[in-house]
Structure 1
Amino acid sequence: MTDTPAALREAHHADVTGGWLRPAVFGAMDGLVTNIALIAGVGGGGVSPHSIVLTGSAGLVAGAISMGLGEYTSVRSANEQVAAEVAKERRELERHPEAEARELADAWVARGLPRDLATQVAEAVRRDPEEALRVHVREELGVDPDDQPSPWSAAISSFLFFSVGALIPLLPYLLGATALWPALVVGGLGLFAAGAVVARFTNRPWWTSGLRQLLLGAAAAGATYLVGSLIGVQGGL
């Protein structure tokens, strides 16, 4: 094999700014935990399987819509805030180009570049207004103005993956189960699998990530089951 720079041998990095992975993961986990806990709560209260299916289905639809709208609003608001800051930086570059160039050079000097080199590069960047704007925004805001996440991508990912996650603990009842434990088992397997899949993107051990999600979901289900049991007992008195 021929020697090549390490950067060229590396596989491409995962897309961490595309706006779909975080809401997809969060949506799937939230759908699983929400409906597992919801089913455990009403199941602990002693309601009929039909009522559990009705409750879980309502939770799926309401949660998926809420997640989608929430992600769209959140990402759209963040993008609008970035756009406002970019416009502010553009005005500063137009009004005070020399001062902004010195500010950029000072930032690079603080990172270890020689003063002469930092000043030379800052002056070279200043000659192209659009490139100067991109560089200043990256340095001062820590964002790339040309690579902002899509609110629609975030909303759709969140909606779809929440729906899938929320459907998993409902499947046993939809297939004819009448007891609570099959839904909890299937939901637990879903949580463990989802955590293991997340480990694929984070380079963490799959079994620790899966076990963590399983334990968190079990804690939520245990709490709602206890609440449902207490309310169900009191309601029957």
Structure 2
Amino acid sequence: MATLVRCAMGYKPTGPKVAASSPEPTEAGVLPVYENEPAGERRPLLGDEAYSYQASETSGSETIAPSASSGALSFFNNPRVISDAVIGLSDGLTVPFALTAGLSSLGNTKVVITGGIAELVSGAISMGLGGYLGAKSESDCYKSALEREQKLLENSRGMSEEAVVEALTEFGFAPSTLNAILGDLEKNPEEMVTFMMKFVRGMEEPPIGREFTSAATIGLAYFFGGFVPLFPYFFVHTVQLGLMLSVILMIITLMIFGIVKTILTGNNSKWQALFGGIQMVITGCVAAGAAWGMVRLIDSH
């Protein structure tokens, strides 16, 4: 039964592999719940998490241990990091582009470079602080919800049990299986609280240091994204040439970013990816054109 509970919690076996046609029963005679996958590539039906249990051949006990691909997802494959990078780059590729285009109407490359760098620094700090506060709020929210679940389990165990049964019922478990799982969870209150947070409340514990990772990712993405439209002005003597090169560079960059962003969100359609690139180009050009026209209008008066 403990095996089934761990499968429901997202653990997967890394011990000896069992043929798909003849699965062996677990401790309580209940078969683990697996998706229909080839032998040797099984994974729990309820999730693909980063931990696995390994059976001890000497003692017959099971120990929870990180798998070879355990822990958090690798940094660059972490959906939260990708999300933060997209947020930073989206703003970094549009806001500074609009600013530099607007300042270029003043006809002085030094003004464009000085104003652009000042905006990059202040914008990166502001975006980084926003990312930090957002991740900190997420962490505080999780801790608060965790404390509520712990108190609910202590003061009203019946309500907690009902919530667990209701969550498991959605997966089609038989009543006898539900009672067995509930019995195992009751033996370990900490595991029961973890189960409730994940499957009942739908909340994942934020990684340690998430606040600083989010701040650094968003801030740096904004800075490097915003430096792209400013780059040509360092190598030209006339602001008109700098603006033309900046626009060409940004059209290419925005198109590539829009396509990559669409693909990273899981959309493999070529037309959708192309549409995402065109959408980013239109957004950046409209923002830059509006800023350029506004500064030009103000300067003319």
The bucket for the TM-score relative to the shorter chain is 0.7 to 0.9
TM-score computed with the length of structure 2 as normaliser:
0.68
- Show the counterpart of 2:81: 20
> Residue 190 of structure 1 aligns to which amino acid in structure 2?
T
- Show the counterpart of 1:30: 91
1:207 matches 2:207: no
Structure 1 residues 30-39 or 140-149, which shifts more? 140-149
Structure 1 segment 183-194 matched on structure 2, within 5 A:
183-194=246-257
> Residue 215 of structure 1 aligns to which amino acid in structure 2?
I
1:169 matches 2:201: no
1:5 matches 2:8: no
Gaps of 5+ in 2: 1-19, 21-35, 44-68
1:145 matches 2:205: yes
Higher relative contact order (CA 8 A, sep 6+): 1
1:198 matches 2:265: no
| Gap change, CA 1:129 and 1:146, over 3 Å in 2 | farther
Deviation at 1:37, TM superposition (A): 0.7
| Gap change, CA 1:196 and 1:148, over 3 Å in 2 | farther
Structure 1 residues 146-155 or 182-191, which shifts more? 146-155
Gaps of 5+ in 1: none
Partner-residue secondary structure (3-state), 2:218: helix
Deviation at 1:188, TM superposition (A): 1.9
1:84 matches 2:144: yes
Give the number of the structure whose alpha-carbon radius of gyration is greater. Answer: 2
| Gap change, CA 1:58 and 1:201, over 3 Å in 2 | same
Query: How high is the sequence identity, in percent, across the aligned residues?
Result: 24
Instruction: Show CA shifts across 1:77-135 (max 9, x none).
Output: 11111111111111111222233112210233355444443333223222211211111
Give the distance between the partners of 2:134 and 2:104, measured in 1 at CA. Answer: 34
Structure with the bigger percentage of helix:
1
Give the distance between the partners of 2:42 and 2:258, measured in 1 at CA. Answer: 29
Structure 1 residues 146-155 or 184-193, which shifts more? 146-155
> Residue 32 of structure 1 aligns to which amino acid in structure 2?
L
- Show the counterpart of 1:232: 299
Deviation at 1:201, TM superposition (A): 1.6
| Gap change, CA 1:148 and 1:118, over 3 Å in 2 | farther
Structure 1 residues 202-211 or 167-176, which shifts more? 202-211
Count, aligned residues = 228
> Residue 264 of structure 2 aligns to which amino acid in structure 1?
F
- Show the counterpart of 1:182: 245
Instruction: Show CA shifts across 1:173-202 (max 9, x none).
Output: 012252122112212222112222223422
Partner-residue secondary structure (3-state), 1:38: helix
TM-score computed with the length of structure 1 as normaliser:
0.85
1:218 matches 2:218: no
